[in-house]
Chain A
Amino acid sequence: MLLNIKNLHVAINGKEIIKGLNLGVNKGEVHAIMGPNGTGKSTLAAAITGREGYEITQGEIWFKGKNIIGMPAEERANEGIFLSFQYPVEIPGVSMTNFMRTALNAQREYQGLPSVPAGEFLKLMEEKKNLVEIHAKLTNRSVNEGFSGGEKKKNEIFQMAMLQPSLAILDETDSGLDIDALKVVAKGVNELRSDDNAFIVITHYQRLLDFIVPDFVHVLFDGKIVKTGGKNLALELEEKGYEWIKEQYLATSEL
């Protein structure tokens, strides 16, 4: 199993947000995580990627056979965990090219490989830019500075294509995207899908899942996965909303 989360509890400033979550992801799979606002979807992403301030009070996160709890965020990234951010930040004065080269070389250094030669790097950039239809000029600009919402999200997928992670977490990648941008992003993701990697797609709406078809859909509520199904579960949620899940969950938890 690529990722195996067992009985995970996560607290922020002493307040428990994730309350005993279990999730297993194999290579070649796409898992969708859905649920109403404030149920811990982004907290889950933060806990897997090792963001500071998210206190893991109980449980284990296994990735490629290693328990990664306590591992610094950059090592997790270099092990192959990638997060496509919901709100990518701007880094003024740092060109995308420089940023990407620094990231790629950090990864190669971690793997014991020499830095990527300049020519090879630029060729790789060209190739991956085409994948997500990123304007050539965008990579000369500072990281995310002055990018539109759509450009920021495309840029996340572009970085993912450059770094070739084995696990990619897409955090609300569809938020703020129009349908055309959504299709481009989904196309990029689908082209990167392989038997060697896996995706966790965090989303509010079923819309994105029309284009990135999941193998499993999980509903997150009150810090736990309360329902798991196939891609049809997403359609059901779209139709019926989350109320019935809430009711079902509360009914069982009262027993």
Chain B
Amino acid sequence: MENIPGTNILDEVTQGDYKFGFYTDIENDTAPRGLTEDTIRFISAKKEEPEWMLASRLKAFRHWLTLKEPEWAHVHYPAINYQNIIYYAAPKKKEYASLDEIDPELLETFNKLGISLDEQKKLTGVAVDAVIDSVSVKTTFQDTLGKHGVIFCSFSEAVRNHPELIQKYMGSVVPYTDNYFAALNSAVFSDGSFCFIPKGVRCPLELSTYFRINAANTGQFERTLIVAEDSSYVSYMEGCTAPMRDENQLHAAIVEIVAMDDAEVKYSTVQNWYPGDKNGLGGVYNFVTKRGLCKGRNSKISWTQVETGSAITWKYPSCVLMGDNSVGEFYSVAVTNHYQQADTGTKMIHIGKNTRSTIISKGISAGKSNNSYRGLVKILPAAANSRNFSQCDSLLLGDRCGAHTFPYIQARNETSIVEHEATTSKISEDQLFYCKQRGIDTEKAIGLIVNGYAKEVLNKLPMEFAVEAQKLLAITLEGSVG
């Protein structure tokens, strides 16, 4: 057989369109630009918070002032001017008793995003909390959930209605001292979702929060807190989009999960913040701290993420496996195209006996993007017979992108087993030609091959998300090859 010559099919980078880049013109209530103690008092006052909440914010703010922005991630961006950000923006009218009261523009926004807030028309059985800029505008199905004792509401509501739960659990997994962005979030967070599943309850609906950045020059700082009591179960999904803008926008969120004895929490994310244009202009800086605490025996926390958006992603959804026999899982597909940068992975901290963790990470790089997996598996001395299995695969499209793997393993227990596998592959010309020879065009072929590559992870997503995620993968890589 003759040598297959070097061809240039993977060389051309063209425009792949972002489908959610519209802006909704609604009246906003915003804080003045910049960040001082006054900003924090302003936010707290706007939200009519109790004094303990304000005190907690101020403590975090003072701590943040002493910190330096971390530089260890494999990402590059110009210095962020934290005084040039608007830390609070909200559609003027804040709370809605029924859909009729919601600004039609706002409803239209969610319709465009394919999110139905109308409970009557809803067939899929997913309860939704919709957060636009700094506030939650609507949480659906609260009555149905209430009958089972499940609390699913905006974070602000929870602060008012369930202060004892918030005070007990907020910051118990991600303290404000955790890192730079966690401290910032703890000071200025505006809204988010709170979810509480009481003992023995299997949550009857999939819970879902959609986050949307709308206003310009605004940062989004939401907090999510999920508490699963003994023997309960919940599957939670999170989706996010933002308008196309030339300037970068900061998103620094915190997600905390607590799972008690025999509880299971499945957390799925489809992250599609605006990635910037094909020349690397604009896009969201996605600096997020997500951590789950398997506090009880036999508890299980499972993170599944499909990361296609953001100019820069810095996030490591982690599990602290404290309870004996607890299980942590991390399934990730991270796609970068054009000038996107992603430094993402997980941390599995084994503390309890017989704890197990699984890490499946699939990175896909195209264009001139950089995609890094960074993961830590830490086995503490008490974690007898614990096990970890990690598999980190990278797929490269073209020859101007980068894939990097930074695995850290610290095993301090002799009875534990840690396995790590890694592969790097390229979509081969042979695979593409094979598809094309069967009549499948290049874009469809890439979609097919990439979805096949990511199948192990996509299979872990709830049905409602899996279809969306598959489409998103194809759209993100649209135009990544000529």
Beyond A93-B452, A93-B455, A94-B448, whether A73 also contacts B436 by CB under 8 A is yes
Is B172 on the interface with A (CB-CB < 8 A)? no
Is B440 on the interface with A (CB-CB < 8 A)? yes
Bound Cα distance A88, B435 (Å): 11
Q: Which residue of chain A is the closest to B449 with respect to CB atoms? A: A91
**How close is A114's CB to chain B, nearest CB, in angstroms?**
16
Please give, as numbers and ranges, the residues of chain A lying within 8 Å of B6 by CB-CB distance: 13, 53
Q: Which residue of chain B is the closest to A100 with respect to CB atoms? A: B438
Please give, as numbers and ranges, the residues of chain A lying within 8 Å of B448 by CB-CB distance: 91, 94, 98-99, 102
Interface residues of A in 88-132 (CB under 8 A from B): 88-89, 91-94, 98-99, 102-103, 106-107, 110
Interface residues of B in 361-404 (CB under 8 A from A): none
Please give, as numbers and ranges, the residues of chain B lying within 8 Å of A159 by CB-CB distance: 438
Beyond A72-B436, A83-B437, whether A53 also contacts B449 by CB under 8 A is no
Please give, as numbers and ranges, the residues of chain B lying within 8 Å of A87 by CB-CB distance: 1, 430
Indicate if the CB atoms of B2 and A12 lie closer than 8 Å.
yes
Please give, as numbers and ranges, the residues of chain B lying within 8 Å of A102 by CB-CB distance: 440, 444, 448
Interface residues of B in 428-473 (CB under 8 A from A): 428-431, 433-442, 444, 448-449, 451-456
Partner of B441, one of A49, A74, A88, A163: A74
Is B5 on the interface with A (CB-CB < 8 A)? yes
Is A22 on the interface with B (CB-CB < 8 A)? no
Beyond A52-B7, A86-B1, whether A92 also contacts B438 by CB under 8 A is no
Indicate if the CB atoms of B452 and A106 lie closer than 8 Å.
no
Interface residues of B in 225-246 (CB under 8 A from A): none
Indicate if the CB atoms of A89 and B430 lie closer than 8 Å.
yes
Is A85 on the interface with B (CB-CB < 8 A)? yes
Is B45 on the interface with A (CB-CB < 8 A)? no
- Contact residue range for chain B? 20 to 34
Is B165 on the interface with A (CB-CB < 8 A)? no
Beyond A74-B439, A106-B441, whether A94 also contacts B1 by CB under 8 A is no
Bound Cα distance A94, B450 (Å): 9
Interface residues of A in 65-88 (CB under 8 A from B): 72-74, 77-78, 82-83, 85-88
Indicate if the CB atoms of A93 and B451 lie closer than 8 Å.
yes
Indicate if the CB atoms of A13 and B454 lie closer than 8 Å.
no
Please give, as numbers and ranges, the residues of chain B lying within 8 Å of A73 by CB-CB distance: 433, 436-437
Instruction: Determine chain A's interface SS by DSSP, over half rule.
Output: mixed
Interface residues of A in 30-72 (CB under 8 A from B): 38, 40, 42-43, 49-54, 72
Residues 226-250 of A, flagged 1 when their CB comes within 8 A of B and 0 if not, give: 0000000000000000000000000
Bound Cα distance A107, B438 (Å): 8
Indicate if the CB atoms of B434 and A88 lie closer than 8 Å.
yes
Is B66 on the interface with A (CB-CB < 8 A)? no
Indicate if the CB atoms of A53 and B4 lie closer than 8 Å.
yes
Please give, as numbers and ranges, the residues of chain A lying within 8 Å of B436 by CB-CB distance: 50, 72-74, 77
Residues 161-204 of B, flagged 1 when their CB comes within 8 A of A and 0 if not, give: 00000000000000000000000000000000000000000000
Indicate if the CB atoms of B434 and A106 lie closer than 8 Å.
no
Partner of A13, one of B1, B5, B438, B441: B5
Is B422 on the interface with A (CB-CB < 8 A)? no
Indicate if the CB atoms of B440 and A38 lie closer than 8 Å.
no
Is B3 on the interface with A (CB-CB < 8 A)? yes
Is B9 on the interface with A (CB-CB < 8 A)? yes
Indicate if the CB atoms of A94 and B452 lie closer than 8 Å.
yes
Residues 194-223 of B, flagged 1 when their CB comes within 8 A of A and 0 if not, give: 000000000000000000000000000000
Indicate if the CB atoms of B439 and A106 lie closer than 8 Å.
yes
Indicate if the CB atoms of A107 and B439 lie closer than 8 Å.
yes
Interface centre among B8, B440, B451 (most CB of A within 10 A): B440
Bound Cα distance A88, B1 (Å): 13
Please give, as numbers and ranges, the residues of chain A lying within 8 Å of B438 by CB-CB distance: 77, 99, 103, 106, 159, 163
**How close is A79's CB to chain B, nearest CB, in angstroms?**
9
Is A4 on the interface with B (CB-CB < 8 A)? no
**How close is A42's CB to chain B, nearest CB, in angstroms?**
5
Bound Cα distance A110, B1 (Å): 32
Is A142 on the interface with B (CB-CB < 8 A)? yes
Please give, as numbers and ranges, the residues of chain B lying within 8 Å of A107 by CB-CB distance: 439
Bound Cα distance A98, B449 (Å): 11
Partner of B440, one of A83, A92, A106: A106
Indicate if the CB atoms of B451 and A77 lie closer than 8 Å.
no
Indicate if the CB atoms of A78 and B439 lie closer than 8 Å.
yes
Partner of B453, one of A13, A92, A163: A92
Interface residues of B in 348-365 (CB under 8 A from A): none
Please give, as numbers and ranges, the residues of chain B lying within 8 Å of A13 by CB-CB distance: 5-6
Please give, as numbers and ranges, the residues of chain B lying within 8 Å of A40 by CB-CB distance: 2
Is A17 on the interface with B (CB-CB < 8 A)? yes
Bound Cα distance A85, B456 (Å): 28
Please give, as numbers and ranges, the residues of chain B lying within 8 Å of A43 by CB-CB distance: 2
Please give, as numbers and ranges, the residues of chain B lying within 8 Å of A82 by CB-CB distance: 437
Q: Which residue of chain B is the closest to A110 with respect to CB atoms? A: B439
Please give, as numbers and ranges, the residues of chain B lying within 8 Å of A85 by CB-CB distance: 434, 437
Q: Which residue of chain B is the closest to A86 with respect to CB atoms? A: B1
Indicate if the CB atoms of B5 and A12 lie closer than 8 Å.
yes
Interface residues of A in 130-170 (CB under 8 A from B): 142, 159, 163
Q: Which residue of chain B is the closest to A76 with respect to CB atoms? A: B437
Please give, as numbers and ranges, the residues of chain B lying within 8 Å of A17 by CB-CB distance: 2
Please give, as numbers and ranges, the residues of chain B lying within 8 Å of A12 by CB-CB distance: 2-3, 5
**How close is A243's CB to chain B, nearest CB, in angstroms?**
22
**How close is A199's CB to chain B, nearest CB, in angstroms?**
16
**How close is B218's CB to chain A, nearest CB, in angstroms?**
39
Q: Which residue of chain B is the closest to A52 with respect to CB atoms? A: B7
Please give, as numbers and ranges, the residues of chain A lying within 8 Å of B434 by CB-CB distance: 85, 88-89, 91
Partner of B431, one of A52, A91, A103: A91
Indicate if the CB atoms of B437 and A93 lie closer than 8 Å.
no
* A74-B442, A99-B435, A106-B438 given; 20 more Cβ-contact pairs under 8 Å: A12-B3, A13-B5, A52-B429, A74-B437, A74-B439, A74-B440, A77-B438, A78-B439, A87-B1, A91-B431, A92-B453, A93-B452, A94-B449, A94-B452, A102-B448, A103-B435, A106-B439, A107-B439, A142-B452, A163-B439
A-B contact pairs, 8 of them (CB 8 A): A52-B7, A72-B436, A74-B440, A88-B434, A92-B452, A94-B448, A106-B438, A106-B441
The 4 A-B pairs with the shortest beta carbon distances in the complex, nearest first, are A93-B452, A94-B452, A103-B438, A53-B7
Residues of A within 8 A of B (CB): 12-13, 17, 38, 40, 42-43, 49-54, 72-74, 77-78, 82-83, 85-89, 91-94, 98-99, 102-103, 106-107, 110, 142, 159, 163
